[in-house]
A and B are shown apart, each in its own frame.
Chain A
C-alpha cells in the first residue's frame, strides 16, 4: 500500500493494518477536532501516528521513551481542555496502567489510549512484545471503555467514535495487514456488538483479528451442516449484554475468540454477562495463560491455538454440551 495522509479517501482500504487505518483516520479527523493532540513515545512509525505528525506537527507531542509520564501528562492536557490521544504499543500501555487508572480514569478525563501491536499479531518480535493481558488490565479499571475493532473500515469509524465519546477509552489496533471484512454500510457504535453472520446452532463471539478467523471457522462448520452465528464484539467494555443474552437464547451455545489471554479478556466479559442472564455452554478460544513467542502471526495462531480450526473445534464442544448441564 502506498496510501498517505494526504489521501484520506484510502482510509480503511483493504490490506491496511489496523494501525495504519487508525493513523490515517486520526490525521483526517484533525480538522474536525481542533482540540485533538497526539502523544507519542518515539514509536510513531509503529503506531501509525506518523500520518498525523506529517499533517499536524504542531499538535504532535513527543514524550520520548517514557510511557508513565506520557500517560499521566495526558490527564493534564485533558484538564486544560485539550483532547489527548496517547499512542504506543499495547505492552507499554501495560507499563502505565496505574497512570491510566489514577490520572485518566479516576479523574474521568476525556483522554484516549490507542495501543498498537497487541497479541500474537505482533509476530516476530516475540513474547516480550506480545501484550496478551491488556484487555484484562484496562477492563478492570472503572469507567474505562475498551475497544478492539476488527477491520480497517471499522477502525476508521471507531477512531471517530472514540473522539466523539466523552471519557477515557482504551482501543487496540493491530500490527499485521488486516482483512477487509465489512462494506461501506457497516456502522460501528460504542457498546454495540453486531451479528456479522447469521446462524442458529452456536454463536462465535470475537474481537479484533479473531473476527476474520471466526468467520473462517463458520465456513468450515457450514460444511458439516453446523450453522454458526458470528458476532463482532468490537466493544469489550461496556459489553453488549443484551445481544449476548439474545444469542445465548437463540443458539444455546457460545464460543469466544480473542488474541489475548483466555483469562480476563473478551471471554471473561462474555461469561460474566451470560452467567447473570442466560447461562449456556461457553468455550474460550485464546492464549491459554502463557506468553507468546517469535513467529509469523498465522504460525503463532496455529501454535497457540487461536486459528480458525481451533474456533471450529470449540464450537463443536460447546454444541455437544448443550442441555447437559456441564
Chain B
C-alpha cells in the first residue's frame, strides 16, 4: 500500500513511552508554528478568522504530526488516511500545519486570500492536491467525510477518515443527518473532532443557539464519545488511538478549546472569530506572544511582494 511512515503515535502508544514524548515535543513545535504562520497569513491577507485558527492548531498538529497516515509523498495513495476541514474558515491553520509538515511551501502559503493564489479563504480541492474536498459551507465537509468513510469501507480499505468541525457548525441540520447516518452504517473508520471553543461568529454558542448537553447528544446518536482538553497534545494523541481502536461505531472527540489560544488579547473574545484585519502592531504582538523571535517576526511580516 506504500504506507511506511517511520514513527506514528500508533506505534508509540504500544511500544515506547519515550517515542510518544518525542512526538509530543514535535507536535508542540508544529502547533506553535501553525499559530504563528496563520497569524502572519491573516495579516498579509487583510482578512481571515484568527480565533478559530488558534483554537484548532493543537488538534491539527496532532493529526498531521502523529495520527494521520498521510504525508506529502502519498497524497494520491488510495489507502491514505483522509482529513477534511469541515470548518472551512479554519483554512489558515490548515495551510500552516500543512506547510510545517512539507505539503506546501511556508512562504507560498502566506499568500492567503489573494487572487491567483491556491490558498483561498476556504480550502479548495482543485487548488491544492493535499486538500481532500472543498469546504466553507458548514456541515458539508462532515457529510463528505462520511461518504469517504463509507466508500473506503466498501472497497475494503483500512484507511481512516478524520474531520474537524466547529462548535457553531453543529447548529447545521445536515450535521445531525450525517451523525445518524454514520452510526447506522457503523462507520468506525470515521472520527469527528469538535473544536469546542464555545464561541461562534456573533457571540457565545449558548447565546446564539445552545449546544449542551453536547456529549449526551452524540451518545444518543450512538457515537463513541470522548471529551478532552483540546490543547493537551499528549491527551489528544492517546484519544485518537482509542478512537481508532473503537469497533462498530464512529467516534467523536469533543475537544475543549480556547478561542484565540496563545494570543492573550484574542483569547475568548468573539470579535476575533470573524474575518478581521490585523494591524502590523497586532500581528507583531500576537507573534511575540506565540514565541516568535524578533527576526522571525520580521521574516513573517515583511512585505511579501518585496
Contact = CB atoms under 8 A, between A and B. Distances in A.
A58 B125 CA distance: 29
Chain A interface bracket (under 10, 10 to 19, 20 to 34, 35 or more) = 20 to 34
Contacts of B125: 79, 107
A73 B154 contact: no
Contacts of B82: 79-80
A59 B137 CA distance: 28
Nearest to A82: B151
Interface in A52-84: 58-59, 61-64, 66, 68-69, 71-82, 84
Given A66-B177, A81-B155, A99-B140, A74 B134 contact: no
Given A68-B139, A102-B136, A74 B126 contact: no
A203 B286 CA distance: 68
B157 to A, nearest CB: 8
A80 B134 contact: no
Contact of B154 (A62, A71, A82, A102): A82
A152 B155 CA distance: 33
B291 interface: no
Interface stretch (B45-53, B141-149, B245-253): B141-149
Given A72-B140, A77-B150, A66 B134 contact: no
B147 A75 contact: yes
B150 A103 contact: no
A98 interface: yes
B264 interface: no
A80 B143 contact: no
Contact of A107 (B78, B133, B149, B181): B133
B124 interface: yes
Interface string B165-179: 000000001100110
B212 to A, nearest CB: 23
Nearest to A106: B134
B180 A64 contact: yes
A99 B126 contact: no
Contacts of B139: 68, 72
B242 interface: no
Given A73-B146, A77-B148, A108 B126 contact: yes
B144 A76 contact: yes
A204 interface: no
Given A76-B145, A76-B147, A107-B134, A68 B173 contact: yes
Contact of B78 (A37, A80, A103): A80
Contact of A74 (B147, B149, B155): B147
A76 B151 contact: yes
A61 B150 CA distance: 9
Given A72-B143, A72-B174, A79-B148, A103 B132 contact: no
A69 B134 contact: no
Given A64-B181, A68-B177, A76 B150 contact: yes
Given A72-B140, A73-B150, A75-B147, A103 B133 contact: yes
Contacts of A68: 139, 143, 173-174, 177
Contact of A81 (B78, B124, B132, B181): B78
Contacts of B263: none
B143 A69 contact: yes
Interface string A170-181: 000000000000
A102 B137 contact: yes
A69 B148 contact: no
B137 A69 contact: no
Contact of A63 (B78, B133, B181): B181
A69 B146 contact: yes
Contacts of A79: 82, 125, 132-133, 144, 147-148, 151
B148 A80 contact: yes
A58 B140 CA distance: 25
Contacts of B178: 69, 73
Contact of B126 (A71, A75, A81, A107): A107
B245 to A, nearest CB: 23
Contacts of A61: 150
B206 to A, nearest CB: 25
A76 B146 contact: yes
Interface string B183-195: 0100000000000
B60 interface: no
Contacts of B150: 61, 73, 76-77
A69 B174 contact: yes
A75 B133 contact: yes
A144 to B, nearest CB: 15
B181 A66 contact: yes
A213 to B, nearest CB: 38
A267 to B, nearest CB: 30
Interface in A78-109: 78-82, 84, 98-99, 102-103, 106-108
A80 B146 CA distance: 11
A257 B222 CA distance: 50
Interface in B5-55: none
B52 to A, nearest CB: 19
Contacts of B137: 98, 102
10 contacts: A64-B177, A72-B144, A76-B148, A79-B144, A81-B78, A84-B147, A98-B137, A103-B140, A103-B143, A106-B126
- In the A-B complex, the 7 residue pairs with the closest CB atoms: A76-B147, A73-B147, A72-B143, A66-B177, A69-B177, A80-B151, A76-B148
